[in-house]
Amino acid sequence: MTGELTKVEIRAFKDKTYSEEIGKFVLPINPEQFSQAFKIEYDEEQAQGAQGNDPKFKFTPPEDLKLNFTLDGTGVIPVKGEAGAFHRDVAQQVQDLLTLAYAMNPETHKPNFLRILWGDFSFGTGNGFNGLLKEFQINYTLFSPDGKPLRAKISATFTQYVEQERRVREEGKESPDVTHIRTVKGGDTLPLMTHRIYGDASYYLQVAKANGLVNFRRLHSNSTLRFPPLNKTDFSKTDP
């Protein structure tokens, strides 16, 4: 350990593979605080005349990371890696950060993909928080006599991005929100296979209808069945 203060870094990448870094912004002053928001979405639709409800898991939205930090241009904050240099232009710092995280990349025609790092912690992800800028608020709090901003409070919210292939690999689970094709094995029943996919065997009649099964009580080994997404309007929990 060198004893040097580790600063938060916001690195920009051209595309979702995070293979080509194109710039970075080092926060002159580390965040005063940060927050992480985790959510779970449920389908809480209640059948007509039913008492209470039985929420069904739909999906897990991306995590949000919110940083609150200060940009200072009073000339007292040193520039990291530049001996004798101090941050003096708040407007330029804001512009540099917006160019990196908010502005459209002229090559990709969309904002850059971002990775936020803070030493070994890096917001609990180890390799950094990968995401996109979701919201950016600036509150100027100090000015020079001629009106030039000298200090700004920044609130930046980033929404997590996980590449589709990696997300599927990491989740390693059956999802009721995509179509699944399964091969019938010895001992399988339609209600059992339905429960494996949706976590609820009561959808087996809808699965039978989707596959055109006349006698769903006798499944043929090595045949294939299609299990549609639950969010399809024609695949609700009703009699066929």
What pLDDT shows up at residue 236? 53
Q: Dump pLDDT digits (tens) for 35-59.
A: 999 988 887 765 555 566 667 777 7
Q: Dump pLDDT digits (tens) for 140-154.
A: 999 999 999 999 999
The full length of the chain comes to 240
Domain 177-227 sits in CATH 3.10.350.10: yes
Q: Which CATH number is associated with domain 9-170?
A: 2.40.30.200
The reply to whether 177-227 shares the fold of 9-170 is no
Average pLDDT, the chain: 84
Please report the DSSP string for 110-152 in residue order.
EEPEEEEEBTBTGGGTSS-EEEEEEEEEEEEEEE-TTS-EEEE
* CA distance linking residue 158 with residue 66, whole number of Å: 6
Indicate the domain borders of the chain: 9-170, 177-227
What pLDDT shows up at residue 132? 97
Q: For the whole model, what pTM was predicted?
A: 0.67
Stretch among 16-20, 82-86, 127-131, 163-167 having the lowest mean pLDDT: 163-167
Rounded mean pLDDT of 72-88? Answer: 89
